[in-house]
Amino acid sequence: MPETVVAAPSLIDKLEASRTAARVLAQATTVQKNRALHAIGATILRNADRILPANELDLANARENGMSEGMQDRLRLDYRRLEALEAAVVHIATLDDPIGESVRGSQLPNGLNITQVRVPFGVVGAIYEARPNVTIDIAALALKSGNAVVLRGGSAAENTNRVLVELLQGALLEEGLPSEAIQTIDEFGRDGARALMQARGYVDVLIPRGSAELITTVVTESKVPVIETGAGVVHVYLDESADLATAVEIVHNSKVQRPSVCNALETLLVHESAAARLLPPVIARLRESGVIIHGDERTRALVADVVPAVDEDWSTEYMSLDLAVRVVADLDAAMDHIHKYSTHHTESIITNDLARAERFLAEVDSAVVMVNASTRFTDGGEFGFGAEVGISTQKLHARGPMGLPELTSTKWVVRGSGQVRG
């Protein structure tokens, strides 16, 4: 008797299954989706003894392959981190369901009733690096917004993600939802990622999350719609009227609180009339935390031991304890600098001058513009979105931290009684 060989599903089989699951999920009620989210939270904690050893295996491989400490930290799960993930998933269950919301509508003169309502995208693709928490965050946000999701995580987290996706699928089945609504294509490696970028008709939107290189590859090579996330050459501008204590604390927090992330400060601009008053204490405080200053000539005239800044510094996202500092003539010069070098992520002005604050907020063209606040607040969690899919730095569809509404599309519903066009 010949052996029965069951072929593993091909990538296209998986994508077809995602589309079918998406049709079901789009019609799921808020109650069903919330129950599934609670089941996900519970299964994560209940199966810590399966998740953590798989994660240990990934970490062991990572160490062997010489992964940096910072990357290892992002890859690592422990029980406390699983508890935080469970809390995030349960929090997402408490948020308003965006699906079915009426965005706008009207009764036309001919009696037709038109309403624009929120609907799921359908199938969301995500390509990201070796951070297993992203697997849970994106799956939970996609579920709540009625989307099927196809995940391609970094291969360094493959063992962890395999267990997590199994658990996620089990939770879906428990609540009567199709397990194919959450799938990984990690087993197809880089070919899988490439195929996802070409999958027109299968993937409604593709979200890359990770390094600038990863994002650029996805944005330039994809044939499916992409939401660009990420890179942040973030500026703080200290205006003439900036309060000293506020300037010192906001610059320090923006740079030092977590230097390796996209909303961390990279370039500090200072009004020339305030440079002598503000720069020495601001820099002194930064240096307490080990920040290395790369300054222009005027900065170096005011503060000792500053590394001379070169042109490249103005466009560098250090993601480290380095900071570029430049003295500028006025608000216009600051905004011109930002216009030239910013990646349009987050910029903050520190000032007590109302007119300048309003000009900065109106004229600086970035996803998030701030007055008298740390740039570290550009974050879905801080904004109250539960978790975030990423921070969009493009202008199409979503801009800034992406929560549930950003994972939806709309459709127009037209109700008539026999109208024809004259």
Please state, in angstroms and rounded to a whole number, the distance separating the CA atoms of residues 356 and 2.
Answer: 80
Stretch that binds a copy of itself, among 55-63, 68-76, 275-283, 361-369 (CB under 8 A): 361-369
The one-letter code for the residue type at 47 is N
Which CB atom, from 167 or from 387, has the smaller least distance to a copy of itself?
A: 387
- CA separation for the pair 9, 31 (Å, rounded): 31
How far CA 240 is from CA of 274, 278, 281, 329, 352, in Å, comes to 5, 9, 15, 10, 9
Residues 336-355: x/- map of binding to a copy of itself (CB under 8 A)? ---x--------x-------
Q: Which stretch binds a copy of itself (CB under 8 A): 168-176, 220-228, 313-321, 322-330?
A: 220-228
The Cα 83–Cα 106 span in angstroms is: 46
Q: Does 288 bind a copy of itself (CB under 8 A)?
A: no
The only residue of 229, 267, 316, 374 in contact with a copy of itself, by rule CB under 8 A = 374
Examine residue 370 and tell whether it contacts a copy of itself (CB under 8 A): yes
Backbone angles phi, psi at 360, to 5 degrees: -60, -45
Question: Which positions from 163 to 202 touch a copy of itself by CB under 8 A, shown as an x/- string?
Answer: ----------------------------------------
Residue 249 in the binding site for a copy of itself (CB under 8 A)? yes
419 binds a copy of itself (CB under 8 A): yes
Nearer to a copy of itself, 78 or 365 (CB): 365
Per-position DSSP letters for 284-349, written without gaps between them? HHHHHTTPEEEE-HHHHHHSSSPEEP-GGGGG----SSEEEEEEESSHHHHHHHHHHH--SSEEEE
Q: Which residues of 263-276 are buried (b: 16+ CB within 10 A; e: fewer)?
A: bbbbbbbbbeebbe
Interface with a copy of itself (CB under 8 A): 23, 26-27, 106, 108, 112, 114, 116, 119, 121-122, 204-205, 219-220, 223, 225, 227, 243, 245-246, 249-250, 252-254, 257, 339, 348, 361-363, 365-374, 376-378, 382-384, 394-397, 399-401, 409-421
